[in-house]
Amino acid sequence: MNVIDTSGLGKQYGGTWALRDCTVAIPAGSLTALVGPNGAGKTTLIQMLTGLTIPSAGTVTVLGDQRAGSAAALDGIAFVAQDAPVYKNLSAADMLHLTRNLNRFFDQQYALARLGDLGISAKKKSGKLSGGQQAQLALTLALARRPKLLILDEPLAMLDPLARHDFMAIVLTAMVDDGVSVLLSSHALPELERVADQMVLLSHGHVALAGPVEDLLACHRVLTGPAAEADSYAARLDVVLARRAEAQAQLLVRTGEPGASGASGASVAPGWRAHSVSLEELVMAYLRAPGAEVLSASFPARSARSARQEVSR
């Protein structure tokens, strides 16, 4: 089952398309990184997935075949917006009470137990909590709804490294223990590379890259060699981005299949070196080359990353 399916999805404001021709399929049980610069269309996509915005074009379904925004879909989706929104003048207990009364299902005992484990007093006002505690409170409210899909919009942006680690540990635990699928919008690429199974990269309102993270990384390589030979060599390759200095050039190329070292699996030319690409290198290359052809890795989804099994270590 796919937790998210979009086909030709788009949203237009006046004469401007915030998102256009977005077609993605995200399998259940995955943690999907939603990546892109500000203004790329990430929030617009999230708003359509949660039913907050009506599409101008295309279709979107969630949790198998539920229409986004329908009652059945909303019951199965929890959304934590940017900046961990909580009412500053309400206590943590008040936030639990409010959320319980606004939703058809809310696991009060689970929420109270989580706050206790985190050392967050139910009597303390939300505005008096640290940034990390506010984020954990917002996450607790979301998970207590026992969702099938958890959507997080930049939840790590304002957190220090320790709070960020603790937040993600809870998310990964929910995936392992409760089978929650996660869509995480974030700029924290090193963190995403550690935990994400799938990635959707948006650029200029379009999908630039989509698929299982391991396969996307495996079918790209960085080639480094003499600048004088770069043009002739690049003509034989599927180059995403070329950068060169006076003596040396660097080509980020698509190999066409996981594990291939050069163009379409060919050997690397003499005088050139190949190395694997990091998620940050891959994302930056596609963002710097907005005209690059969209790549959607059609490989089978990988199993959950080992980081989930190590979450309690």
pLDDT recorded at residue 262: 44
Confidence of residue 263 (pLDDT cuts 50, 70, 90): very low
Mean pLDDT value across residues 293-310: 46
Pairing of strands 57-62, 2-13: antiparallel
pLDDT recorded at residue 303: 43
Indicate whether 302 pLDDT > 70.
no
Residue with tokens 């959950």: 304
Out of 52-61, 78-87, 210-219, least confident range? 78-87
pTM of the entire structure? Answer: 0.86
For 20-69, the pLDDT digits (tens) are 999 999 999 999 999 999 999 999 999 999 999 999 999 999 999 899 99
Mean pLDDT value across residues 7-28: 95
For 169-198, the pLDDT digits (tens) are 999 999 999 999 999 998 888 888 889 999
pLDDT recorded at residue 28: 95
pLDDT recorded at residue 176: 92
More reliable by pLDDT, 18 or 256: 18
- Chain-wide mean pLDDT for the chain? 87
Specify whether the CB–CB gap between 271 and 186 falls below 8 A.
no
Question: What's the CATH code, domain 2-212+298-309?
Answer: 3.40.50.300
204, with CB counted inside 10 A (0-12, 13-18, 19+), is middle
pLDDT recorded at residue 259: 47
Q: Measure the CA angle with vertex 175, ends 171 and 137; round to 5°.
A: 30
Domain residue spans of the chain: 2-212+298-309, 220-293
Dmax (CA) for the chain in angstroms is 69
Indicate whether 245 pLDDT > 50.
yes
For 112-148, the pLDDT digits (tens) are 999 999 999 999 999 999 888 998 999 999 999 999 9
Strand partners, 224: 250, 273
Structure tokens given for 213: 């993270």
Give SS3 for 179.
Answer: coil
pLDDT recorded at residue 268: 87
pLDDT recorded at residue 264: 42
* Phi (first) and psi of residue 65, to 5 degrees: -140, 25
Confidence of residue 207 (pLDDT cuts 50, 70, 90): very high
User: CA 75, CA 84: separation in Å to the nearest integer?
Assistant: 20
pLDDT recorded at residue 296: 53
